[in-house]
């Protein structure tokens, strides 16, 4: 019988099996985060959307992320109050129902609704499984387990597009991407049902902090809008920056004021007095920003500068993504072996920073030189190093934050950890993108394309113009990657200064 808030009963001989089953559910959900990327065209055709209107496919991708973000602030608190396995079971059913709606969708509206429900169900599994792992293993022994869970999630995200492409190209068609989820979820629920039915998990008051969730969401939305440069040729920040930034600060201030007074807060803000808690949160946000920059700008750079098609650009990014689960798995074991969260987290961020510095030196010939005579190119090594560093910090940072919170707040702590990563992805990316695009427009404002007509020097002038524009593009990406490297260096320093030493494993 599983009792997350009574540790001696938790640590039974079945904990590996239990974590394996819940990890399989997390892997199933993470596969679907980007699985539709390789199935968009047939999905659009099935709901009678013209393939020459690809912008209408955007909600199919963002719908999952919308559901994921919407549930995340509440998910951890729900697992604290109702139990990890109860929440896991309910959300797995929600994920399966969303899969059913998606597979049977006759319209774009139902397709997007199904994706939103998939995201909500799948997103809530993440803090539930992380908190369960922390419940099952003592403080000094949990970093390898958290690393394995994180690696499983990252592997799912990496394999998702490949999995979707294989099924779509088969005789079954794209709908089987989602039909398969239903028996898989049913099998996991059947295996877990004895523990869920036993009801051994402690229930806590079910009061939910809706006002806190609303204030946090409003503050994050306003901050993202304030930093997002809709017209980068005019300003490096948003058009409404003057009023949106102060409004965001007010929302965050009200959130803190409310959280200090409500009996059931989303997050205990007094935890910020703990340097390890604050350092873990900020470090995770910085790592999230670095990951988002890589996810967006490496494929765009491949397309705009190296003239790659979409599949080649995706393969270039795949080299970086491949390093993340490897780093996540190794980071957990290294943290335990070396008895240090701070060293492994700082090392991971430092390696990622070095990787971005290497990327900032790319030019037109950077994809060709081979690495020490091997089939790998130097660029492959740089991308793998960057992804490996971003993965290496995940387990020690997660373990440090979950060690800093009490057992009764572990689910909320896991949610907060993921929210901070998402905040870093949204805010950090908006800030870096805005200033870099503004600098690009400033650098190219004086460039005027030559007119053909009777101009005898048109070919020469046009070649010079194209060369200058391409150089401006390189300068823009160099700036983006260098700024990201600086942020990651700061994150490494923050981790080294704030994360507490790894506690000795003990049964409490």
- Distance CA(359)–CA(492), nearest Å, equals 18
Nearest residue to 227 via CA among 466, 11, 428:
428
What is the sign of the dihedral through the CA atoms of 27, 28, 34 and 38? positive
The DSSP secondary structure of 31-75, one letter per residue, reads HTTSGGGGTHHHHHHHTT--TT-GGGGHHHHHHHHHHHHHHHHHH
The pLDDT, as a whole number, for residue 38 is: 67
- In this prediction, residues 23-52 reach a mean pLDDT of 79
The pLDDT, as a whole number, for residue 229 is: 59
The DSSP secondary structure of 272-317, one letter per residue, reads GGSHHHHHHHHHHHHHHHHHHHHHHHHHHHHHHTS---HHHHHHHH
Considering the chain, tell me which residue range(s) the CATH 1.20.1250.20 domain(s) occupy: 1-205, 265-508
Class of domain 1-205: mainly alpha
Nearest residue to 146 via CA among 374, 409, 333:
333
Of 32-36, 116-120, 213-217, 235-239, which gets the smallest average pLDDT? Answer: 235-239
pLDDT band at 480 (very low <50, low <70, confident <90, very high): confident
How many alpha carbons lie under 13 Å from residue 100 in its C-beta half-sphere? 12
The pLDDT, as a whole number, for residue 454 is: 62
- In this prediction, residues 169-181 reach a mean pLDDT of 88
Q: Is the pLDDT reported for residue 33 higher than 90?
A: no
Q: Is the pLDDT reported for residue 433 higher than 50?
A: yes
pLDDT band at 228 (very low <50, low <70, confident <90, very high): low
Q: What's the token pair of residue 506?
A: 């003990």
Residues present in the chain in total: 508
Contact, 145 vs 332, CB < 8 A? Answer: yes
- In this prediction, residues 79-97 reach a mean pLDDT of 91
Higher pLDDT: 239 or 393? It is 393
Of 97-111, 130-144, 374-388, which gets the smallest average pLDDT? Answer: 130-144
- In this prediction, residues 264-270 reach a mean pLDDT of 80
The pLDDT, as a whole number, for residue 235 is: 65
- In this prediction, residues 127-151 reach a mean pLDDT of 85
Of 65-74, 186-195, 197-206, 258-267, which gets the smallest average pLDDT? Answer: 197-206
Beta strands per DSSP E along 71-147: none
pLDDT band at 278 (very low <50, low <70, confident <90, very high): very high
Q: Is 463 helix (H, G, I), strand (E, B) or coil?
A: helix
When mean pLDDT is compared over 136-140, 282-286, 319-323, 430-434, the highest value belongs to 282-286
The pLDDT, as a whole number, for residue 3 is: 37
Higher pLDDT: 230 or 413? It is 413
Contact, 233 vs 262, CB < 8 A? Answer: no
The pLDDT, as a whole number, for residue 257 is: 92
- Distance CA(407)–CA(76), nearest Å, equals 12
The pLDDT, as a whole number, for residue 74 is: 78
Q: What's the token pair of residue 502?
A: 């790894």
The DSSP secondary structure of 333-385, one letter per residue, reads HHHHHHT-HHHHHHHHHHHHHHHHHHHTT--TTTTS-BSTTSSSBHHHHHHHH
Higher pLDDT: 233 or 314? It is 314
- In this prediction, residues 440-457 reach a mean pLDDT of 69
Higher pLDDT: 36 or 319? It is 319
- In this prediction, residues 157-186 reach a mean pLDDT of 86
- In this prediction, residues 125-141 reach a mean pLDDT of 85
Higher pLDDT: 463 or 118? It is 118
The pLDDT, as a whole number, for residue 2 is: 35
pLDDT band at 254 (very low <50, low <70, confident <90, very high): very high
Q: Is the pLDDT reported for residue 1 higher than 50?
A: no
- In this prediction, residues 354-383 reach a mean pLDDT of 85
> What percentage of the chain has pLDDT greater than the value 70?
82
Q: What's the token pair of residue 391?
A: 């993965």
How many other C-beta atoms lie within 10 A of the C-beta of residue 257? 12
The pLDDT, as a whole number, for residue 118 is: 94
The pLDDT, as a whole number, for residue 351 is: 97
pLDDT band at 176 (very low <50, low <70, confident <90, very high): very high
Q: Is the pLDDT reported for residue 187 higher than 70?
A: yes
The pLDDT, as a whole number, for residue 101 is: 95
Q: Is the pLDDT reported for residue 425 higher than 70?
A: yes
The pLDDT, as a whole number, for residue 413 is: 85
The pLDDT, as a whole number, for residue 508 is: 43
The pLDDT, as a whole number, for residue 430 is: 67
Of 100-104, 156-160, 499-503, which gets the smallest average pLDDT? Answer: 499-503
- In this prediction, residues 106-127 reach a mean pLDDT of 90
What is the CATH code for 265-508? 1.20.1250.20
Q: Is the pLDDT reported for residue 502 higher than 90?
A: no
The pLDDT, as a whole number, for residue 161 is: 76
The pLDDT, as a whole number, for residue 225 is: 73
When mean pLDDT is compared over 310-319, 322-331, 405-414, the highest value belongs to 322-331
Q: Is the pLDDT reported for residue 34 higher than 50?
A: yes
* Average pLDDT in the chain: 81
């Amino acid at each position: 019988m599983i009792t997350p808030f009574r540790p001696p009963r938790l640590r039974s001989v079945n904990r590996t099996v239990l974590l394996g089953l819940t990890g399989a559910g997390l892997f199933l959900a993470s596969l679907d985060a980007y699985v539709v990327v390789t199935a968009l065209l047939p999905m659009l055709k099935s709901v009678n959307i013209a393939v020459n209107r690809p912008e209408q496919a955007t909600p199919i991708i963002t719908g999952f992320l919308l559901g994921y973000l919407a549930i995340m602030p509440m998910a951890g608190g729900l697992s604290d109050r109702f139990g990890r396995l109860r929440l896991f079971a309910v959300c797995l059913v929600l994920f399966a129902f969303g899969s059913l709606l998606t597979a049977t969708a006759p319209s774009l509206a139902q397709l997007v609704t199904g994706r939103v429900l998939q995201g909500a169900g799948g997103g809530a599994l993440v803090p539930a499984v992380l908190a369960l792992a922390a419940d099952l293993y003592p403080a000094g022994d949990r970093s390898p387990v958290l690393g394995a869970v994180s690696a499983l999630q990252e592997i799912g995200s990496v394999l998702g597009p490949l999995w979707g492409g294989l099924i779509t190209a088969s005789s079954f068609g794209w709908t089987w991407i989602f039909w398969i989820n239903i028996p898989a979820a049913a099998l996991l629920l059947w295996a877990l049902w004895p523990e869920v039915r036993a009801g051994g998990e402690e229930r806590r008051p079910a009061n939910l902090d809706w006002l806190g969730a609303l204030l946090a969401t409003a503050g994050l939305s306003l901050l993202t809008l304030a930093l997002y440069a809709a017209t980068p040729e005019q300003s490096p920040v948003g058009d409404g920056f003057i009023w949106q930034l102060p409004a965001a600060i007010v929302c965050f201030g009200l959130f803190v004021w409310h959280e200090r007074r409500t009996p059931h807060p989303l997050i205990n803000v007094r935890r910020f007095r703990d340097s390890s808690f604050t350092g873990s949160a900020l470090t995770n946000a910085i790592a999230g920003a670095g990951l988002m920059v890589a996810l967006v700008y490496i494929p765009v750079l491949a397309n705009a500068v190296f003239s790659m098609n979409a599949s080649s650009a995706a393969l270039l990014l795949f080299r970086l993504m491949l390093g993340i689960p490897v780093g996540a798995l190794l980071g957990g074991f290294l943290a335990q072996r070396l008895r240090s969260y701070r060293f492994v987290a700082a090392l991971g961020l430092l390696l990622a920073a070095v990787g971005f510095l290497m990327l900032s030196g790319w030019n037109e010939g950077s994809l060709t030189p081979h690495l020490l005579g091997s089939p790998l190119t130097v660029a492959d090594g740089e991308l793998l190093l960057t992804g490996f560093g971003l993965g290496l910090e995940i387990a020690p940072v997660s373990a440090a934050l979950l060690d800093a919170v009490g057992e009764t707040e572990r689910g909320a702590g896991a949610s907060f950890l993921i929210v901070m990563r998402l905040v870093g992805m949204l805010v950090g990316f908006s800030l870096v993108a805005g200033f870099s695009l503004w600098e690009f427009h400033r650098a190219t404002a004086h460039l005027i394309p030559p007119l053909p007509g009777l101009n005898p020097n048109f070919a020469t002038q046009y070649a010079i113009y194209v060369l200058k524009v391409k150089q401006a593009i390189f300068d823009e990406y160099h700036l983006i990657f260098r700024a990201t490297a600086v942020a990651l260096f700061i994150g490494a320093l923050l981790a080294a200064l704030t994360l507490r030493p790894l506690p000795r494993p003990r049964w409490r």
